């Protein structure tokens, strides 16, 4: 568990204790709590003490439950699934539609999720080209400037991030390195490789034999 997560977990209980201690000190200083009043209201103090003890037990039980829930407290986890749809283009290239499905399988929300894709193209001449794309969370009927805005991915929530790119006809392989990042500094990554328009096409088994047999049956003139 990262240090920042531990600070978040214990910040609320520690702050509550500090506020309670300051309140007691202020009450003693102003005379609201004194020795004579404590003796005169012993029964009420016993009732308040029981209530405070019960509340402390409940808080401790809640913290213990979250501490061992799924092995970690407020664990931040995500699963990434990449799907690539390929459509042939009139010029011999292809249009790739990349859909990244981000699934928050942890117990804590992922704030300001952002998906970046590093694309690496390999062409038939042996050249390699890499560039970055940013997939967006798109909604129909929303202005283009607001399409990529998503503030939080709650626990158990799934969101699709989409981007399209054109692949040249000489590219035979494309790899997509997908990374999901949060504003807290957490990151998850996965990779997917697909064929490009320039990939060699394998002929079906027996294709060459069929051509030879048909050629042999052609009578000579």
**3 state SS of 23:** helix
Range of the domain at 99: 78-195
Please indicate, yes or no, if residue 32 is contained in any of the structural domains: yes
Are residue 102 and residue 52 in the same domain, yes or no? Answer: no
10-65 pLDDT, tens digit each:
666 677 777 777 776 666 666 666 666 656 666 655 656 666 776 777 777 766 66
DSSP 191: E
Number of domains present in the structure of the chain: 2
* 168 phi, psi to nearest 5 deg: -70, 160
Please indicate, yes or no, if residue 132 is contained in any of the structural domains: yes
161-181 pLDDT, tens digit each:
999 999 999 999 999 999 999
Are residue 13 and residue 97 in the same domain, yes or no? Answer: no
By C-alpha distance, which of 103, 128, 129, 130 is closest to 115? 103
Counts of helices then strands in the chain (DSSP H, E):
4, 9
Please indicate, yes or no, if residue 113 is contained in any of the structural domains: yes
What's the CA gap between 82 and 104, in Å, rounded? 15
- Measured CA angle at 150 (ends 103, 174), to 5 deg: 60
Please indicate, yes or no, if residue 216 is contained in any of the structural domains: no
Are residue 28 and residue 95 in the same domain, yes or no? Answer: no
The arithmetic mean of pLDDT across residues 188-215, rounded, is 71
Are residue 24 and residue 102 in the same domain, yes or no? Answer: no
């Amino acid at each position: 568990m990262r240090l920042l997560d531990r600070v978040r977990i214990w910040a609320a209980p520690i702050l509550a204790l500090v506020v309670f201690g300051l309140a007691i000190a202020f009450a003693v200083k102003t005379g609201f709590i004194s020795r004579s009043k404590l003796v005169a209201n012993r029964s009420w103090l016993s009732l308040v003490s029981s209530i405070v003890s019960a509340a402390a037990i409940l808080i401790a039980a809640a913290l213990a439950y979250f501490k061992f829930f799924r092995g970690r407290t407020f664990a931040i986890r995500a699963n990434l699934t990449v799907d690539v749809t390929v459509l042939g283009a009139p010029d011999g290239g292809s249009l790739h539609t990349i859909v990244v499905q981000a699934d928050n399988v942890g117990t804590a929300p992922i704030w300001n999720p952002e998906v970046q894709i590093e694309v690496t193209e390999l062409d038939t001449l042996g050249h390699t080209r890499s560039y970055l794309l940013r997939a967006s969370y798109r909604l129909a009927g929303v202005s283009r400037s607001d399409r990529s805005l998503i503030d939080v991915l709650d626990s158990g929530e799934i969101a699709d991030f989409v981007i399209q790119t054109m692949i040249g006809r000489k590219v035979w392989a494309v790899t997509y390195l997908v990374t999901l990042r949060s504003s807290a500094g957490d990151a998850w990554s996965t990779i997917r490789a697909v064929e490009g328009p320039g990939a060699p096409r394998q002929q079906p088994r027996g294709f060459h034999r069929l051509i030879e047999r048909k050629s042999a049956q052609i009578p000579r003139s």
